[in-house]
Copies of this chain bind each other. A is one copy, B any other.
Amino acid sequence: MEIEQITIVGQGNVGTHLYKALISVSYDVDIINSRSLYNIRNNSELYILAVSDDSIDDVASKLSSVNGIIVHTSGSKSIDVLSKYSTKCGVFYPLQTFTKNVELNYSEIPFFIEGSDLEVVCALKKVANKISKLVYDADSERRKRLHVASVFACNYVNHMWTIADEILKNDGLSINVLYPLIEETINKIHKITPYESQTGPAVRQDMSVIESHLNFLSDNDDTYNIYKTLSNSIINKHK
Contact = CB atoms under 8 A, between A and B. Distances in A.
**Secondary structure call for the A interface:** helix
A2 to B, nearest CB: 28
Contacts of A141: 171
A57 to B, nearest CB: 12
Interface string A15-54: 0000000000000000000000000000000000000111
Interface residues on A, range: 35 or more
Given A153-B182, A233-B222, A95 B165 contact: no
A153 B159 contact: no
Interface of A: 13, 52-54, 76, 95-99, 102, 104, 108-110, 134, 136, 141-142, 144-165, 167-168, 170-171, 173, 175, 177-204, 206, 208-209, 212-213, 216-217, 222-223, 225-227, 229-230, 232-234, 236-237
10 contacts: A96-B184, A99-B192, A102-B192, A155-B199, A155-B201, A156-B230, A159-B234, A162-B195, A162-B237, A226-B229
